[in-house]
Structure 1
Amino acid sequence: MSIELSLDRIRLLASHLPPYSRPTVHVAGTNGKGSITCMLSSIFATSGLTVGRFNSPHLVSVEDSILINEQSISPEEYSLSRAAVESADQAHGTEVSNFEMLTLVALQVFEKLRVDVVVIEVGMGGRLDATNYIPDESILLSALTTVDLDHQAFLGNTVELIAKEKASIARKNKPFVLGIQKYAAVENVVRSVVEQTGAHFIATHSAQRRAWDDAIDGPLPPTFSLDAESFRPPLAQPITFTSPAFPSSLAALLYLNGSHQVENLSLVLTIVSTIMMHPLCASRMPSGFSERISENIKTGIRKATWRGRLSFHRLTVSSPNPRAITVLVDGAHNRASSETLAPYVSNIITILDGNPQVRILRLTYILALSHSPPETPKDTLSPLFASQSSTHLSIQTKVAAVRFTSPDGMPWVKSVPPSEIAAAVHESVSGVGLWVASDEGKIQGQLESALE
C-alpha cells in the first residue's frame, strides 16, 4: 500500500482554487463517523438548511461520497468539478493523491452551491488527513467518535497514539466534542491535545433509552418479522436527551439499528446543542437556526438512514427457484465494528426466540474482507461466531466467502482471498456449512452465486 500522509500537496493545490468558506462540522474517529454525519445532515436538512456531506469511501459510485441534502450529486456535477481541480493540479504540478483530489472536488461543489453547512468525515486519522487542510475560519466544530485499533501501520499501535492523531483536528478557539469512549485512556490524551491547541473541550452528554410511550411515539408497531414477503423492521429505539439548548427533555425515536447508535446519537445531539449555544458557532448559522432546529430535530432523527450499516434489504434469488430473501447488510471492517455487529445479531436471535411461531432460523453470513494488516481475517471475524444460545430456535448457520472489486478511485483497497476467509472461519467456529468462491478469476457473479 502506498499512502503518503501530508497536507503539503493539498494546501498548495487549494491555493490555486476558489477559497473554501462554508461553515463545517469535522468528524474523526475509528467507528461511527458515517452514522454521526448522516444523523447530523438529516437534522440540518429537515430544519430547512442546505447541507453538504462528504463521506468516504463511497458505497456504490464515487458520487455517493458527495451529497447535497442527502442526495448524491449528479455525475455531470461531479465531472465538472473534478475537471476543474484536475486542470489546476496539472497546471501547477501538485500531483495530489486520489483522496486529496476527491476531497477538493467535494469542497469545490459545496462552495459553488453556497450550502449553509457542511458535514465532513475524516478519511483516515486526522492530523494529516486531507480533510484537515480546511481553513480554521471555516470550522464550526470538531468531533471525535469512538477510538479503537485500526490502520495501525499509519496511526500507531496503541489507542493512545491513535487518539492523539485523530484529536489533532482540533482548532484554536473552536469547540471540540468527544464522543463516548470504550477506553478511559482516550479522554486524557484528547483533553491534552485539545488544551494544547487552544480549543474548547466538551464531553458528550448521554442520551437515555426509555420505554415506548403511545402518547409521544404513537401506537406500538407490529412485531418484528424477518420473512421477506411480510418483513417488518425492528422496533425504533425511543430515547430522551437533556440539554440547556432545549427547553424540556427531547423525546425522539431513533430508527438506525443497533444499541451503539444511541451512543452515536448522544454525540450528534451534543454537537447540535453546542452549535446552538456556542457564540462562535451560532454566529455562522442562518437566521433563526436554533428555533428551526428545536422545531424539527425529532423529525430529523427519525428520518436518518445510513445504507450499508445494519440496514435490511429484500433481494430476489433467481435459482434454483426464484424467491425473496431478507438480507442484513453491515460494513463492519475491523474487530471493534464486528464486536458491535455480533450482539445485534444475537439480539435478533433473542427477539425471534421469544416468538413461538418461529422455530427455525437459517442464518447465513456472506463475508468479504479488505486487506488491512496487521489485523488478520480471524481478528475481524472471530467476534461474529461467539456462542449464540437459544431456548426454542433451531439455528442453522452457513458461511459464504467472496471477493469484492476495489472501490472506484481507490485501487489500494484490496480484497482478502476467500480461501483465507474460509481458514479464519474454520479457526473460529465448527459445524457450519461453508461455500468458498475462487481466489482467482472474475469477481462478478460471486455474490449472486453465494446468495443462490
Structure 2
Amino acid sequence: MHLPRVPRSKHEEKSAACARMIRCTTCSRSCGGLRCSVQEHPRHSGTTWPSSSTSPAVNWQQPRHLLNQPHAAAVSESLEQESSGAAGAAAANLLDSLVNYERSGIPPAAGTAGSSRFDLGRMHRLLAALGNPHMGLKAVHVAGSKGKGSTVTLLAHILAAAGYRTGVYTSPHLLALEERIAVAHPGAVSRRPRPLPPDDLAFLIDRHGGAIRSTVAAEGGALSHFEVLTALAFRYFADCSVDVAVLETGLGGATDATNVVPGANLQAAVITALGMEHVEALGGSLRSIAAAKAGILRPGRPLVLGRQLYAEAEEVVLTEAEAKACSPVVRAQSLVSVRSHGIEIQLDRCGQIARERLSLELLSEPDLYGTSFGTMTNRSSGGSSRYLEATVGLVGAHQHDNVATAVAAVRVLQREGGWRLDDEAVVEGLREAQLPGRFQVVKLPGPEGPYVVLDGAHTAESAAALTASLRAAFPGPTTPLQTQPAGSGTDIGPVGHPVALVLAMADDKDHRGTVTALRAVQPRVAVFTSVPIAGSYHRAAAPGTLAGHWQAAAILAASAPSPASPSSSDVSPTTPQHRQYRPFRCRELVQASLAAAFDKARQELRGVRASLGLAPGVGSPGVILVTGSLHAVAAAYKIPELQPLLQMGP
C-alpha cells in the first residue's frame, strides 16, 4: 500500500487535492474525488477510481479509506476538515452573491410565458459552460400550485424502490440548501433519495466556480441563485449517472430554470392541482397561471394531469396539450382510485409519526394509443381492476390526489417508457416516502406532553386540508390514538382535543383565506408571530396583520346566518361552513418569535387542563399546531425541545 502523494510545493495544489477528499455516501469513509460519492464505491465494486483530466496530478495508488495506517487516517481527516471548511465558505460566498428572489420577492409577471425576467437563454448558456449536463438526462417534470412537492417525493421513492438511480430536485428547502438536490443509490443500505452532502456541493462550486462566475458576469449579473443551483443539480445528476431525475418546478413552468430538458428526454410531464398562488408573478389570473404551468409540456410527450379544482385551469392545460399533440393525455383519476382506511398516530423511534392506510384501485387502462385527444377523461368500462394495500406517511385527503397522480405517472412510465415498476416498488415507495413539514406529528415527553403538528400550509385550500387531516387524526375528546376514516361523514365539529394554533406567514400569501380556513379548528388559543423568509424578515407578515385577519374572520362568522335559522337551511351541520359559524372562545396573542409563541401555546394548554381539573395522564394533552409556511416549520425545528423528536429517519 502507498500513501497518496500530496503536492507540497504549492499551497494551491495542496488545497485542490484536499478539496477532493470527500465522503462516500455508501460507506461514509473518506476517499479521493467527487466520483466517490456519486458512483459505486471501489470498496463495494472492487474497482479503482477513474482519474479526472481536470484534477491536479495526484498519484492515487489506493483508495484512501482502504489504508490501515493510523497516521494516514489522521492526516486524511485533518486535511479533509481544513479543505471542507474553506470550500464550504467559498461556496456560500458565491451563492450569496447572486440575486435571490426567494428572499427579495418575485417581480410581477416574471414567471409568465415570454417574460424576459427569467430568460431560459441565460440558463442554457450557463449549462453550456458546465458541459451541458442536462442533454443526456431522462426526466419527469412536475408543475402545479399544490401537491407538486409531495408528488415528486412519492414518485421518486417509487422509482428508487424499483432499483433505479434516481435524482430528485425540489424547492424550497426546510433547513439546509443541500436538501433540494438528492440522489437514491441502488447499492446503498437505504434506497431512499439522500440529500447532497455539503462537501459535494462545496466541491461542485469549487470545480465549476470559474465557469459560473464568468457566465454571471457575461449575463450582467442577471443569473439568479435558483438558476445557478438548478444548473449545479443537473451537473450533479450527470456526474452521478442517474437513470432518471424527478424535477419540481420552482415557479410556474414556462420560464422556470428546470424547463430545459430536451423534449426527447422528457419521460412525462405531470401537472398537479392548480390554484391562485403566486398570482402576481404568474400574470394575475387563473388562466395565466395555468398557461405558465403548461409551459413544461413537450410535443408528443405524455401528460399526467392531477385532479383539478377549477375547470378553467384544466381547460387551459388541455388546450395546450392538444396544440402540442401530447400523447397520451391521462387524468390521474382515470387510472387510480384511492380510498382511506384512516389516519393513525404511531409510536416511532423518532417520536410520533402520522400514517394513513390506503386502498389503491388500479383501474383497467383505456387504450393509450391511437385515441383522439381528450378521451382519457373517464374510467375504462372494460377489463378488470387490481387492488393494492399501502401505508403512507403523507396523510390527509388532499394527499390522496397526490398519491393517485404519482401512481398514475408510474403506470404511464411503465407503458410509455418501458420502466420496470412493479406493485412491490409502488407499495415500498409509498411507505418510505417522507416529507418533513407536511402533517408531521410528534409528541412531547410525559403524560401532559402535547402532540405537535407541523404543517407548511399557506393557502386557503391547504389550510382547509390541514383542518380535515387534524380532525381525522384526533377525532375523539379523550382517545388521541383512535383511527377514523377521513371523509367518513363523522368528522363534524371541532377537533376533539384542545388546540393551540401558532401561525406565521409570508406577506405575499392569502392571509384572509388561510386564517378563515384555520378557524374551523376552533383553537383555544391562537398565537401569531413572524419568522424569517429565506433568511430575511423582508417578506415576513407582521403578527399584527395576521391577528387582524383572524379578528375580521371572527366578526364575519358572528354576523353570518345561524345554521338553525330558516334563512340558512342550505348550510348542513356536516359542512365546513357550519363549523365556522359555530361560536367559540379563543385567546389571541402575539409573540416576537416562533420559539416564544410555542412556549406560550404550551402554557395555554396547561391552563386549559388546569381549568378542567384534569390529573396527569387523564384526558387529552392537547395539540400544538404550527403552520402558515415551511419557514415556520423550519423555525420549529430549531426549538431545542423538539429537535430530538424531529430527526429524520435513516
List 4+ stretches of structure 1 deviating above 6 A.
356-360
Q: Deviations over 1:167-194 (max 9, x none)?
A: 1110112111111111122222111111
Sort the Cα spacing of 1:270 and 1:259 in 2 relative to 1 into closer, same or farther, 3 A. Answer: same
Sort the Cα spacing of 1:67 and 1:413 in 2 relative to 1 into closer, same or farther, 3 A. Answer: farther
CA contact (8 A) 1:403 1:446 kept: no
Q: Distance in 2 between matches of 1:65 and 1:231?
A: 25
Alignment of 1:35-54 (within 5 A): 35-54=150-169
Q: Distance in 2 between matches of 1:269 and 1:229?
A: 28
Q: Distance in 1 between matches of 2:534 and 2:517?
A: 26
| 1:72 to 2:195 alignment | yes
Shifted more, 203-212 versus 428-437: the winner is 203-212
CA contact (8 A) 2:143 2:252 kept: yes
Sort the Cα spacing of 1:124 and 1:140 in 2 relative to 1 into closer, same or farther, 3 A. Answer: same
- For 2:240, give the aligned amino acid: L
C-alpha deviation, 1:76, in angstroms? 0.5
Alignment of 1:263-282 (within 5 A): 263-278=401-416, 281-282=417-418
C-alpha deviation, 1:444, in angstroms? 7.5
Q: Deviations over 1:108-159 (max 9, x none)?
A: 1111101111111000111011111222233211110000001111113332
Sort the Cα spacing of 1:355 and 1:76 in 2 relative to 1 into closer, same or farther, 3 A. Answer: closer
- For 2:211, give the aligned amino acid: A
Given candidates 128, 142, 148, the residue that maps to 1:33 is 148
CA contact (8 A) 1:66 1:106 kept: yes
Sort the Cα spacing of 1:235 and 1:167 in 2 relative to 1 into closer, same or farther, 3 A. Answer: closer
| 1:352 to 2:476 alignment | yes
Normalised TM-score (structure 2)? 0.59
C-alpha deviation, 1:230, in angstroms? 9.3
CA contact (8 A) 1:58 1:407 kept: no
Given candidates 190, 198, 203, the residue that maps to 2:331 is 203
Q: Distance in 1 between matches of 2:481 and 2:471?
A: 18
C-alpha deviation, 1:417, in angstroms? 1.3
Q: Deviations over 1:217-240 (max 9, x none)?
A: xxx99x7589x9996745423332
Q: Distance in 1 between matches of 2:123 and 2:527?
A: 41
Give the number of aligned pairs.
415
Alignment of 1:217-232 (within 5 A): 224=345
- For 2:152, give the aligned amino acid: T
* Counterpart residue number, 1:433: 587
Q: Deviations over 1:242-267 (max 9, x none)?
A: 24499961312142210111111111
Q: Distance in 2 between matches of 1:371 and 1:46?
A: 39
Q: Distance in 2 between matches of 1:356 and 1:114?
A: 46
Sort the Cα spacing of 1:362 and 1:189 in 2 relative to 1 into closer, same or farther, 3 A. Answer: same
Higher relative contact order (CA 8 A, sep 6+): 1
5+ residue gaps, structure 2, are 1-104, 108-116, 185-192, 367-382, 483-494, 555-583, 603-650
Sort the Cα spacing of 1:157 and 1:400 in 2 relative to 1 into closer, same or farther, 3 A. Answer: same
- For 1:74, give the aligned amino acid: P
Alignment of 1:14-413 (within 5 A): 14-19=127-132, 20=134, 21-69=136-184, 70-92=193-215, 93=217, 94=219, 95=221, 96-200=223-327, 201-204=329-332, 205=334, 207-210=336-339, 224=345, 233=354, 235-244=356-365, 249-255=386-392, 256-278=394-416, 281-282=417-418, 289-290=419-420, 292-315=421-444, 324-349=449-474, 351-353=475-477, 355=479, 361-372=497-508, 375-386=509-520, 397-407=524-534
Sort the Cα spacing of 1:82 and 1:428 in 2 relative to 1 into closer, same or farther, 3 A. Answer: farther
5+ residue gaps, structure 1, are 213-219, 283-288, 389-394
CA contact (8 A) 1:39 1:300 kept: yes
Shifted more, 65-74 versus 132-141: the winner is 132-141
- For 1:261, give the aligned amino acid: Q
CA contact (8 A) 1:207 1:263 kept: no
CA contact (8 A) 2:336 2:360 kept: yes
Task: Note the aligned Cα RMSD (angstroms).
Answer: 3.2
Q: Distance in 2 between matches of 1:360 and 1:162?
A: 38
Shifted more, 293-302 versus 125-134: the winner is 293-302
CA contact (8 A) 2:269 2:302 kept: yes
C-alpha deviation, 1:209, in angstroms? 3.9
Sort the Cα spacing of 1:385 and 1:294 in 2 relative to 1 into closer, same or farther, 3 A. Answer: same
Sort the Cα spacing of 1:91 and 1:352 in 2 relative to 1 into closer, same or farther, 3 A. Answer: same
SS in 2 for 1:15: helix
* Counterpart residue number, 1:217: none
CA contact (8 A) 2:138 2:267 kept: yes
SS in 1 for 2:230: helix
Q: Deviations over 1:17-69 (max 9, x none)?
A: 12222210000000001110110011111111111111100011101111112
C-alpha deviation, 1:2, in angstroms? 4.9
SS in 1 for 2:422: helix
SS in 2 for 1:352: coil
C-alpha deviation, 1:105, in angstroms? 1.4
SS in 2 for 1:100: helix
